[in-house]
Amino acid sequence: MSQFFNLDIHQMELSAKQIAGILNGKVDGDEHVVVDDFSKIEEGKPGTLTFLANPKYTNYIYETRASIALVNDDFTPEKALPETLTLIRVPDAYRALAVLLSLVEQAKPKKTGIESPVFISPSASLPQEAIYIGAFSYIGENVRIGKNVAIYPQSYIGDRVEIGDDTIIYAGVKLYAGCRIGQRCIIHSGAVIGADGFGFAKEGESYKKIPQLGNVVIEDDVEVGANTTIDRAVMESTVIRRGVKLDNLIQIAHNVEIGDNTGIAAQTGISGSTKVGKNCMIAGQVGLGGHITIGDNTNIGAQAGVISNIESGRNIIGAPAIDMKNFFRSSIVFAKLPDLYRGHNQLQKEVNTLKEEINKGKSEAI
């Protein structure tokens, strides 16, 4: 299989039959048609492979010019498909695409060696083989780096940092002293791991800084997006558990703990000492207050503001956050508020008119 995935995506060449074999899929059409690139379904080109996973894009499959489309097993065309299109049916088209993209990624050549100039402390522990350190990087005292690690240019690896096997540190990452990164992690450019937490004590009209003496521990198979920041703990550790996926531009404060396999979208901020459970999904621009606990399997919608503990398994949104069903019901009412307000004012006028007539009648009776 590797012979078909050479140096990059544009050198891939596979037939529908071969792709179906890789994915354990079923060909619906010409099994000999060949592709050498990928394309979005709305921009499909001949000789490319596309996919249909989101029902919102179904209409594009009837006009796409792509040669092969991955579709779910239960896809039933409502009208004729292009004669040039071959389908490969799989249980989950999106996951199948991910498999193919991963194979292409793995086939790309990996950088190795130590470029110049770099600074590497004599006390740092590096493997003898399969490591890459890009130019203008800094490796501090007593750093421990595992096998097959890639550290791209202009990265800062502070004293006593530990980096596990097969981890990628992209350009311009800053790992402060004492932080620990697990195996098979990906830290994207501009991320800062281990900066001081926001800890200050008010003294009159000024602030006294509280030293942040802990570190950040990132377990295995974690991905940290570009320009995301994770603060070190006041004491002990800020912990990102195994399998967590963090988007770009996220702020995680000191002593936070994120549970296994939780995903968090961009521009989310998590305040100090908050604990987020396992398998949670947190959408963009969410704000979590400090010293609260979010239970396992919780889904939090975009722009939610969470200020209190949340039990496991809930779906919440809004600021302050409430159950999603109640939020959407409330949204319907909110959209009608101008009409309700006008109706209220009209009713108030009519009530006032009735009161005036009643009072006038009473006066005349007297």
Q: Which CATH architecture has domain 113-326?
A: 3 Solenoid (2.160)
Is 230 a residue whose pLDDT tops 80? yes
Same CATH fold, 113-326 and 2-107? no
260-274: average pLDDT: 98
At which residue do the structure tokens 């009713």 appear?
347
Q: Is this prediction's pTM over 0.75?
A: yes
Return the domain boundaries, the chain.
2-107, 113-326, 336-365
Written as one string, the DSSP assignment of 125-170 is: B--SSSEEE-TT-EE-TT-EE-TTEEE-TT-EE-TT-EE-TT-EE-
DSSP state of 211: P
- Look at residue 107 in the predicted model and tell me its pLDDT: 78
Phi and psi torsions of 101, nearest 5°: -65, -35
| Residue for token pair 């489309």 | 69
Mean pLDDT across the stretch 138-147?
Answer: 97
How far is Cα 347 from Cα 58, in angstroms, rounded to an integer? Answer: 49
Q: What would the pLDDT profile of 293-304 be if each residue is shown by its tens digit?
A: 999 999 999 999
Instruction: Answer whether residue 45 shows pLDDT above 50.
Output: yes
How many whole angstroms separate alpha carbon 232 and alpha carbon 194?
A: 4
Q: Which of 10, 32, 254, 291 is catalytic?
A: 254
The reply to whether 291 belongs to the active site is no
Q: What b-and-e string marks burial along 290-317, b requiring 16 or more CB atoms within 10 Å of the CB? A: eebebbbebbbbebbebeeebeeebebb
CATH number of 2-107: 3.40.1390.10
